[in-house]
Structure 1
């Protein structure tokens, strides 16, 4: 019975996988929500005649207790993760630049974007950015 069920799933999977991209446009989701504190006042940048972008960072914290269970009085540990936020949408970009300040608590919704850049020492670096307001 397990073989027939897995065979049916495999047939459905094969039926939906196609090499002709003109037949079906596949749906996907790239959505992120970050709730945390702003680490620096936003900066507005414009590069090579492109539209301006507002950039700021947000810190999120993860806390856990070390030990053998929740009732144990173990040490509390914390990890802070920094997220780079970019706002391109014209109205939202200006509002973020004007009203978001260091230390503010913000909820950011957007999508993840991965890219590469070359730093001032000619070293290729990877960057993960949250594009807000998508």
Structure 2
């Protein structure tokens, strides 16, 4: 694995040095994996002129122990819950998510981060972070 990464890095560096930088399309990664519980039943929405999308919320939890150190079993356990907005656009995956994923289900979502803006009902511009699901959405027991 390490040698493959080194090879790709070397290839990018040598390509950058040998050609005009404006002609190179740089490769990058935008990948997210979340394992958590669904906070609400998925809803399917369709904006006029666009394909439908299935949307649901998902919670992930982070837990840690404060006190005498990680080795010790004493100390207070703290937890932080983070909520994520999941959007599923792929037709087959979108329909499976809408029909089978339910509130409280434990799911694994693989996808990418997307940042956007919208104007709320009070005409206030807001920012939104969304996870675009795909290639995988799996129900985990």
Q: TM-score per shorter chain, which class? A: 0.7 to 0.9
Show structure 2 runs of 5+ residues with no match.
Answer: 1-12, 136-141
2:10 maps to none
> Where does structure 1 differ by over 6 angstroms across 4 or more consecutive aligned residues?
none
2:31 maps to 31
Q: What does the per-residue CA deviation read over 1:70-119, in whole Å, with 9 as the maximum and x for residues that have no partner?
A: 21511111000000000000010000000000000000000000000000
Does residue 93 of structure 2 align to residue 92 of structure 1? Answer: yes
Judge conservation of contact 2:56–2:85 (CA < 8 Å) in 1.
yes
- Number of corresponding residues: 121
1:69 maps to 69
Judge conservation of contact 2:61–2:79 (CA < 8 Å) in 1.
yes
- Distance of aligned partners of 1:17 and 1:56 in 2 relative to their CA distance in 1, 3 Å threshold: farther
- The Cα of 1:69 is off from its aligned counterpart by 0.7
TM-score w.r.t. length of structure 2: 0.80
Q: What does the per-residue CA deviation read over 1:2-34, in whole Å, with 9 as the maximum and x for residues that have no partner?
A: xxxxxxxxxx697379542x2x22111111000
Show structure 1 runs of 5+ residues with no match.
Answer: 1-11
SS at match of 2:102: coil
Does residue 79 of structure 2 align to residue 78 of structure 1? Answer: yes
Name the structure where strand makes up a greater proportion of residues: 2
- The Cα of 1:49 is off from its aligned counterpart by 2.1
1:51 maps to 51
Does residue 125 of structure 2 align to residue 124 of structure 1? Answer: yes
- Distance of aligned partners of 1:18 and 1:113 in 2 relative to their CA distance in 1, 3 Å threshold: farther
- The Cα of 1:38 is off from its aligned counterpart by 0.2
